[in-house]
Structure 1
Amino acid sequence: MEKIKIANAPCSWGALEFDLEGDSKGYNEVLDEMKTSGYVGSELGDLGFMPSEPDELKSVIKNFDFWIPGAFVPVALADEEEHAAGLAKALKVAKLLVEAGFNDAFIVLADENGSVPERTLNAGRISEHMGLSEEEWLVFAKGADLIAQKVKDTYGLRTVFHHHCAGYIETSSEIDRLMKLTNPDVLGLCLDMGHCMYGGGNPVDILNKHYDRIWHVHFKDYNPSIGEQSKLQNWDYFDAVKAGVFCKLGEGAVDFEEIVGILKTKDYSGWIVVEQDVLPGMGSPLACAIHNREYIKKLGL
């Protein structure tokens, strides 16, 4: 079995896709701290965080002896008018990855999280009436399949969908439905443990139920006491992140031991990407990254 490889992501340093106040560190410092922490790769981060010229990107990543296993691409898939722009963005990212030599990276497709007020205000406590209509579900799935197919046909890269709180695919039932409506030959699932639990689900159940669709994995932990406080205080998604709802690995509710056991039993040989989402300038990313890598080593990875 090929060894599972462990990467991190710029979001662990506050470099997020959202338009937020505050500055995160630059990519060189972030990559240097990732390297110091013992990781062997980094996701690309939001387009523009790292160099967007292929040769420069390749040189920077090679300098750290790293690899890029994936790149996050948010698209407002529930709005059919946004599909063309979303496709163009996904193809732009795919082109950059392939031309820089990362020709086995994933496009990590997601909803335009944080853009729908009701979903952002009620992250972690979504009720049925806050979901997509029947027509919107079909539009959403059609857009996801379209982007995944075009990326595959044009650049040979595979696409996974990243469920995410503050977006339309948050709960376990929403994950189930998207998997049912989309083409398993072109669209996989990026299972994010922390977002799954924050959305009220059990990542072990999702892993077992959808394993054949899970081509990429994000390790994120979830603090249930912060989640409960978020419900009581009616915090929005960003309030909860600021309060530390995504804690250091091993300090929350995610059963990583069982998850790693399942991955090993099923001979998973892809990447595990650590994400401990923080807001720009928040906390001590280097200390957290070191803790998280050491925790994963204790799990045998």
Structure 2
Amino acid sequence: MTSSLATTEQLRIGTAPDSWGVWFPNDPGQIPWERFLDEVQTAGYHWLELGPFGYLPTDPAQLEDELAKRDLKLSAGTVFTGFHKGDDQWKRAWDQALDVAGLVSKLGAEHLVVIPDLWRSDATAEVLEARTLDNEQWHKLAAGHDKLGKALFEEFGISQQFHSHADSHVGTYREVERFLAETNAQYTNLCLDTGHFAYYLGDNLKLIEAYPDRIGYLHLKQVEPHILAEALKNDLPFAEAVSRGVMCEPPLGVPELGPIVEAVSRINPEIFAIVEQDMYGCDIDNGLPIATRTREHIFGCTRAARIR
């Protein structure tokens, strides 16, 4: 049903390699990058994320040409950090930023999605560290992200958007609140991933209403409640939950995406809303039809969405 939203504010809806099952730069089971770009265009999107660095071409001129041929543009890149572990994590983070922000900024992107290290490996399911942080680790985490956000903006004109994540130290509503309280809004804001936030039962609309000035970017996805219940009850590693379909095609899960798009569009219609359904391990033929239906679903349930 189409929303009765009476507003001209609309968010740009895009997509990401993740929605085609791409998690790694090189994996023979993943869709080839040329076919991925072709299918993003066929599915009706204009904006997309870079995905794992090295999956798409890393030469700016080549990437710009490949995107232009398909009428596509980049919204953001992604890096991974572990600032709670100590000062030695800075070089690792900045080396990634030099590659990723250095590339996407040349193509006009103004955002970097930053994902914290997981306490449990998404590759092996090995428990790597404690599930919660002590006060000193929280301080290191916040200070590291503020330092990174300041450097990204000064060096590349890029805004840092922090992504809470399943099996990470920042996942629940209270953990996200603490992260916001301990970081500086000038340098560190949220990529609110609706699926990952709902994974730990977080209320997306409540967070948006409580912290409108800290929402800088959106990842749109849903979780399937019954699979999620099994994952939480049985303490399944996130990657295993993904393989069981915990991140599902809309409208089969929660939260409803229309009200979220509308709420964020009222904050700032220039915020990106990127469909990013975790589908690693899926058949390469699955991405296009799901991505197409997802776009149709979003545009069918709200008028606060646009392609460009």
Contact 1:7/1:272 (8 A) holds in 2? yes
Higher relative contact order (CA 8 A, sep 6+): 2
Q: CA deviation at 1:24?
A: 0.6
SS of 1:258's partner is helix
SS of 2:99's partner is helix
The yes-or-no answer on 1:9 pairing with 2:11 is no
Q: How far apart, in 2, do the equivalents of 1:66 and 1:132 lie?
A: 40
Q: CA deviation at 1:116?
A: 5.2
Q: 1:290 aligned to 275, 280, 292, which one? A: 292
Q: How far apart, in 2, do the equivalents of 1:7 and 1:114 lie?
A: 29
The yes-or-no answer on 1:54 pairing with 2:60 is yes
**Pairing 1:55-94 to 2, within 5 Å after superposition:** 55-80=61-86, 81-94=88-101
| One-letter amino acid of the counterpart of residue 67, structure 1 | K
Gaps of 5+ in 2: 1-7
**Pairing 1:1-301 to 2, within 5 Å after superposition:** 3-17=10-24, 23-80=29-86, 81-99=88-106, 101-102=107-108, 104-113=109-118, 115=120, 130-282=131-283, 284-298=286-300, 299-300=302-303, 301=305
Contact 2:9/2:265 (8 A) holds in 1? no
SS of 1:11's partner is helix
- How many residues in Structure 1 have an aligned counterpart in Structure 2? 290
Going from structure 1 to structure 2, the CA distance change for 1:131 and 1:8 (only over 3 Å counts) comes to same
After superposition, the C-alpha distances for 1:169-194 in whole angstroms (9 at most, x for unaligned) are 11111111111111101111100100
After superposition, the C-alpha distances for 1:71-109 in whole angstroms (9 at most, x for unaligned) are 11111222122222111211221111122x22x420111
Going from structure 1 to structure 2, the CA distance change for 1:35 and 1:18 (only over 3 Å counts) comes to closer
| One-letter amino acid of the counterpart of residue 145, structure 2 | A
Q: CA deviation at 1:115?
A: 5.0
- 2:4 is matched with which residue? none
Q: How far apart, in 1, do the equivalents of 2:240 and 2:209 lie?
A: 31
4+ residue segments displaced more than 4 Å: 114-117
| One-letter amino acid of the counterpart of residue 56, structure 1 | Q
Going from structure 1 to structure 2, the CA distance change for 1:153 and 1:265 (only over 3 Å counts) comes to closer
Going from structure 1 to structure 2, the CA distance change for 1:77 and 1:242 (only over 3 Å counts) comes to same
Q: How far apart, in 2, do the equivalents of 1:240 and 1:22 lie?
A: 22
Q: CA deviation at 1:149?
A: 0.8
Contact 1:68/1:105 (8 A) holds in 2? no
SS of 1:201's partner is coil
Q: CA deviation at 1:198?
A: 0.4
Contact 1:18/1:114 (8 A) holds in 2? no
TM-score by length of 2: 0.88
SS of 1:78's partner is helix
Q: CA deviation at 1:3?
A: 4.1
Percent sequence identity is 26
Going from structure 1 to structure 2, the CA distance change for 1:86 and 1:271 (only over 3 Å counts) comes to same
| One-letter amino acid of the counterpart of residue 296, structure 1 | I
SS of 1:72's partner is strand
Gaps of 5+ in 1: 123-128
| One-letter amino acid of the counterpart of residue 222, structure 1 | V
Q: CA deviation at 1:22?
A: 5.6
| One-letter amino acid of the counterpart of residue 201, structure 2 | G
TM-score by length of 1: 0.90
Q: CA deviation at 1:251?
A: 1.1
